[in-house]
Structure 1
Amino acid sequence: MTSNSLFDNTETAFKLKSDSELERAYFLFKMISMEPLVKIGSAVTKFALNLNLPVEGLIRSTVFDHFCGGVNERDCMSTVDKLYDVGVSSVLDFSVEGKEEDAQFEATAAKVMELTELSKNMDAMPFSVFKPTGFGRFKVYQKITENQPLTDVEKVYWKNIENRYDRVSKTAHDCGIRLLIDAEESWMQDAADELCEIMMEKYNTERPIVFNTLQCYRWDRLEYLKDLHQKAKAKGYKLGFKIVRGAYMEKENERALEKGYKSPICESKKATDDNFNEVMKYILDNLNDIELFVGTHNESSTYLTMDMMKQKEISKSDDRVWFGQLFGMSDHISFNLGAVGYNAAKYIPFGPVKDVMPYLIRRAEENTSVAGQTSRELTLLKKEKKRRKL
C-alpha cells in the first residue's frame, strides 16, 4: 500500500506560493466556503461585467489570478516554467465559454492549434485541450444527440464543427501532442462522443493522440468504455481517456426530474466514487490499448490509482498514466505527486477576464458544493501558514 500521508506535506504543496499568495488563497477559500456569498457574488459579478462596471481589476487581483494563468498564453509562460521546475507539467486551457458565433468558434479552434504547435517544442506542455461547445453551438450537439432533424443552416454548422475537430486533431497528431476533449451535459454528449470516436479511429492508429473524457458520476460510462474498447480493438486503433467525476450534477438531476426521465447520475456519492474507481481499474488493466489521464481532486482515488500501479508494476513515470488537477486547487496532490516522480499536470485556464468568468463561477460553485473539499484546502493552508511562522 502507498503511504497515505504523501498529500499532507504542505511545504512541497505550497512551495511556489509567496506568503501573500498563501494569505490570498486562504481568504478566497474562506469566502468560497460560504454558499450564500458565492451565489450572491456570482450574480453581482455577472451583472457588473455585463454593465461594464470597473470590477475587472478587483476580479483579476483575487479570484482570477488564483485560478487562471493570465489573459493570454504569454502571461502563462512564467507559471508553466515554475511548475515544470518542481516536476509538474501544464495543460493550457483557453477557457472562453458561451459563444454563439461561427467566427468565435473558428477563433477558438485556431487558438487550440496555435497552443498545440507551441507545445510541440516544450516538454512542459504534453497536452492540448478543448471543450466541445468551444467549437460549436450547444443546440446543434443537442439536436444530434436527441435524433432531431437539423435545418439546412444547422447542417452547415455541424459540418463546420466536424471540420474544426478534424483540423485540431490532425494538428495534435502531426505535433505528437495529446489532445484532451472535455465532456459536457449528457443531453449533448452523444454527438460529441461520436465525433471524438471518429477522430480516435483516424488519428489513434499508432498511439492515443485524441482523448475523450468520461464523467464517472454517469452510471453508464463503464459500459460505454467497455463497448468502445471492443470496437477499437476490432478496428485496430487505440483509446485515450481523461476520467473525472463530473461538474454538472445539479443541472443533470434537475433536468431529469423536470422532463421525467431517469437521471443519468449515480444515486449517491459512494456509487460515483465506486464507478470512478472501476473505470480507472479497467483502463489500468488494459493499458496497452488505452491511456489514462486521472483528473481528480479526490485523495482516495489518487492513492488507489497509485496502489494499482504498484501492484501491476507500472512505473511511476510511465507516460501512459497521468494525474491532473486544476490550477489553484489541490496543490497538495499535484506538487507532492510530481515531487516523487509521478506524471502530474495542472490545467491552467486563461483568456480575457469577462470570457473566463463562466468558468470561474463554475469553479466557485463546485468548491462550495463538494463537501469537504474547501475545508481540506483551508486546513492545509492554515497548516502551512503555521509552519512558516515557526
Structure 2
Amino acid sequence: MALLRSLSAQRTAISLVYGRNSSKSSNSVAVAACRSFHQRGTRSTSTVGEGAASESTRGVNGARFLHSGERPLQASAVVQPELVSGETVKRSTKQESSQERNPSPAGSPQRDPLDVSFNDPIAAFKSKTTGELIRAYLVYMICSSEKLVEHNMTLMKWSKNVLGQRLFTALMKATFYGHFVAGEDQIKIIPTLERLRSFGVKPILDYSVEEDITQEEAEKREVESSVSSAGDKKEEGSMPQYHVDKSFADRRYKVSSARTYFYLNEATCERNMEIFIKCLEAVSDDDRKVPRAVATGATFGTGITAIKLTALGRPQLLLQLSEVIMRTRKYMEDMVGGQGNVLTHHKTIKDLEKYYATLGDNKDVKEFLNNVTSDKEGILHLFPWSGIVDEDSQLSDTFRVPDPQTGQMRRLISQIPPKEEEMFRNMIRRLNTIVKAAADLDVRIMVDAEQTYFQPAISRITLEMMRKYNKDKAIVFNTYQCYLRETFREVNTDLEQAKRQNFYFGAKLVRGAYMDQERDRAKSLGYPDPVNPTFEATTEMYHKTLSECLRRIKLMKDCDDDARKIGIMVASHNEDTVRFAIQQMKEIGISPEDKVICFGQLLGMCDYITFPLGQAGYSAYKYIPYGPVEEVLPYLSRRAQENKGVLKKIKKEKRLLLSEIRRRLMRGQLFYKPKGNYVPI
C-alpha cells in the first residue's frame, strides 16, 4: 500500500507539472500540425521514383515532428490524440464505464477505436493485472539506472550465488524474467498466449536460451569456424569485409537487441534445428485452440517463429557465399555497366552471348549460359540457385564465370574441401526441414537479419526458400534492416523477383541491430560504411521502403490480383513509424481486413502500441521469448541494455503505467482481473 501511495503521489506531481506546461502550447501545436498537413497534401504515389521520393520526404518530416515537441498527424478514422493528464484519465474512465455497461454481445468480438497518439493507459494495460503494472514500473525504474544496467549480468550472477537457485528464480520471476519472458517451456507459456489472443495480439515464439560464454571463447569459436580448413586465401578481387577479423570475432560486440549463435559443431546445429521445430509445434498447438474460421483469417496464418541461419551451420560458408554474391554483382557491373543486383540490369542471354562473342565456340561458356536463370524479361541470376537450395550442387563447381578476355572459367569462390561442402548441404537440409515443418503445421517462419558480411547469403537463401515454399501463401519471411544504405534497393529487387517468379513475398522491416558494430568494423577494415549517416536517414529509409511495398500492394488490389502476395510486418518500437504505416494504409485504401500489413513489438516493451493496435482490429504481434530462468539470463541482460538505450520510450511507458495504477487505485480496482473479448484479425 505504501508503494501505491508513493506511485500515486509521483503521478499526481507529474500530472500537475505536465498540465501547466502543456495547456498553453496545445492549440498552437494543433494549428501547426494542420498547416503542415495541408502543405504536404495527401496524394497517392504514381510511379516508383515519384512515390518513393514523396514518401521518404514525408517520413523525415514525420520524425522531426516528434523531435521538435509537436504532435504527429492522425488518420481521420481514429481517435484524435490527447495528452496524458487528469482529463485523459477521466475520459478513459468514462469510456471504460460505457464498455462495462454495454459489453460486446456473446460470441461477438470486441473492437475499440484507436488513439494513434498511443496515450490511452486503459487501452495499453487492460490486459494486465495491477501487480503486473507495478512490476513493469519497477523494471523500468531499474532500466533507467545506467549503473545497474551496465553491471546487470554481474549483479544477477551475484544474486544467484547469495540467494541460491530457488530464491533467485523467485526474484527473477517477480521482476525481469516475469516481465520479459513468457515461461520456461511450451506448456507454461500457454496462459500468456491465451491472454494475448483474448486481447487481439498474436505470438512470434522464440526459444531464447543463450550460451553465456566469455569473449575469449567467443573469439576462438568464431575464428575457427570462419576459416576453411584449406586456409583463408585472399585471392585477386576478394573483399575484406567477407573475411573474419579477430578484432570483431565476438559478434556480440555493441549488440544489445539480437541474439548471437557461435558455431561449436554439427551436432549443435542439429539441436538448434530441433529447437526451432519445437517452437513451430508450440505455435501450432496454440493455433489449434482457436476455431479454424478465426485462425485462418489471421495475417498469413496465426503464429510465427523466428529463426537465425547462423544457428544452422558453419559461418564460414555464409561468409564465402556472401562474397560470391557481391563479386558476381561486381562482375556484371564491370561487363555491362550500372550497379546493383544482376536482375536490375535487365540483360538477356543474347546480351551475354554478345559479350562473349570474341571467345568463339567455347564449350565452358556454353555450359555457363545454359545454367543462367532467366525468364522472358531477362536474366534473374547468373547461377542456378534453385539447385543450391535443393541440396544437390557442388559449390566449388557452381560459382565459376567466363573471363571475357581469355575465355577461361574463373572461380568466384575458393576451393571448398569435400567435408565443408557436406556441411553446407547439411545447413540447407536443416533449413528445408524447418520450413517443411512450418508449412505442414501452417506456421510462418521469419528469418532474422544478421551482420552485413552474412546478409547477402542469408537473403539469397531465404528468397530461394520463398520461391520454393511460398507458392500458395507466405510461409517464409525475410528481414530487412533499414539502417543500411542499400535496403530500399534490395527490397525492390526482391519484390521484382517475387513478381517474375510468381511467389508470395514476405518481409519484416526493422531499423536494425548491428549499427555500431558495422560502423566500427567498416572503419577498421577499410571498406565503405554500410550504415545510413543519421537517425533521420534511417527513418526515411524505413518509410520509403514501406511506402513502396504499400504502393505495390495497392496496384495488385486495383488490378484484382491477390494483394496478399506481398505481406509486410512493421516490426518497430518507433511511434512515428507505426503512425506513418497506419496513415499510409488509410490514404491509399488498405484496411486491416486486407491482411497484408501487421505490426510487431517485443514482449514487455511498448505495450502501449501493441495492445491498442490489436484491440482496434489491426494485425498485432508480440515477440514471445521463453526458456528456463537460468538459461535466458543473457537475453534478459540484453533487454535491460536495450531499454537503457530508449529512455524516451521508457519515460512514456512509466508515465502511462503510473496513470493506470492511479486510476485503479482511485476506482478500487486493485484486484482487477483481465478478461478480453477480442479476436486477432
Query: Conserved in 2, the CA contact under 8 Å of 1:245 and 1:276?
Result: yes
Distance, in Å, in 1 between the alignment partners of 2:311 and 2:270 is: 9
Percent of pairs with identical residues: 34
SS in 2 for 1:348: strand
Distance, in Å, in 1 between the alignment partners of 2:482 and 2:418 is: 35
Matches within 5 A, 1:113-128: 113-118=277-282, 119=284, 121-123=288-290, 125-128=302-305
Distance, in Å, in 2 between the alignment partners of 1:272 and 1:210 is: 25
Distance, in Å, in 2 between the alignment partners of 1:258 and 1:271 is: 23
Return the match for 2:322 from 106, 122, 145. 145
Corresponding residue number in structure 2 for 1:331: 607
Change (3 A) 1:155 1:376: farther
CA positional deviation for 1:65: 1.6
Kindly indicate whether residue 522 of structure 2 is the aligned counterpart of residue 345 of structure 1.
no
Return the match for 1:87 from 200, 214, 217. 200
Return the match for 1:64 from 174, 177, 182. 177
Change (3 A) 1:230 1:323: same
* Amino acid aligned to 2:119: D
Return the match for 2:447 from 181, 187, 197. 181
- CA displacement 1:194-239 (0-9 Å, x = unmatched): 2101101101122221100111111211100111112222222221
CA positional deviation for 1:104: 3.0
Query: Conserved in 2, the CA contact under 8 Å of 1:96 and 1:134?
Result: no
Return the match for 1:29 from 108, 132, 140. 140
Distance, in Å, in 2 between the alignment partners of 1:262 and 1:307 is: 35
Corresponding residue number in structure 2 for 1:154: 420
Tell me whether 145-154 or 246-255 shows the greater mean CA deviation. Answer: 145-154
CA positional deviation for 1:47: 8.0
* Amino acid aligned to 2:548: Y
Corresponding residue number in structure 2 for 1:198: 464
SS in 2 for 1:129: strand
* Amino acid aligned to 1:24: R
Change (3 A) 1:324 1:256: same
Kindly indicate whether residue 267 of structure 2 is the aligned counterpart of residue 103 of structure 1.
yes
* Amino acid aligned to 1:383: S
Matches within 5 A, 1:239-318: 239-287=505-553, 288=563, 289-318=565-594
Change (3 A) 1:317 1:160: same
Distance, in Å, in 2 between the alignment partners of 1:78 and 1:200 is: 33
Query: Conserved in 2, the CA contact under 8 Å of 1:238 and 1:290?
Result: yes
SS in 2 for 1:286: helix
Change (3 A) 1:77 1:126: same
Change (3 A) 1:146 1:352: farther
Q: How many residues align?
A: 390
Corresponding residue number in structure 1 for 2:431: 165
SS in 1 for 2:188: helix
Tell me whether 5-14 or 270-279 shows the greater mean CA deviation. Answer: 5-14
TM-score relative to the length of structure 1: 0.92
Change (3 A) 1:238 1:387: same
Q: Can you give the 5+ residue segments of structure 1 that lack an aligned partner in the other structure?
A: none
Distance, in Å, in 2 between the alignment partners of 1:257 and 1:51 is: 43
* Amino acid aligned to 1:346: K
TM-score relative to the length of structure 2: 0.54
CA positional deviation for 1:314: 1.5
Kindly indicate whether residue 411 of structure 2 is the aligned counterpart of residue 135 of structure 1.
no
Query: Conserved in 1, the CA contact under 8 Å of 2:206 and 2:279?
Result: no
Query: Conserved in 1, the CA contact under 8 Å of 2:153 and 2:634?
Result: no
CA positional deviation for 1:346: 0.8
Distance, in Å, in 2 between the alignment partners of 1:222 and 1:359 is: 30
CA positional deviation for 1:181: 1.2
CA positional deviation for 1:332: 0.6
CA positional deviation for 1:141: 2.4
Matches within 5 A, 1:43-58: 43-45=154-156, 54=165, 55-58=168-171
Change (3 A) 1:336 1:60: same
SS in 1 for 2:175: helix
Distance, in Å, in 2 between the alignment partners of 1:134 and 1:193 is: 15
Q: Can you give the 5+ residue segments of structure 2 that lack an aligned partner in the other structure?
A: 1-73, 82-114, 211-260, 296-301, 325-412, 554-562, 667-681
Corresponding residue number in structure 2 for 1:16: 127
> Rg bigger for which structure?
2
Query: Conserved in 2, the CA contact under 8 Å of 1:324 and 1:347?
Result: yes
Distance, in Å, in 2 between the alignment partners of 1:282 and 1:357 is: 39
Change (3 A) 1:188 1:28: same
CA positional deviation for 1:72: 1.0
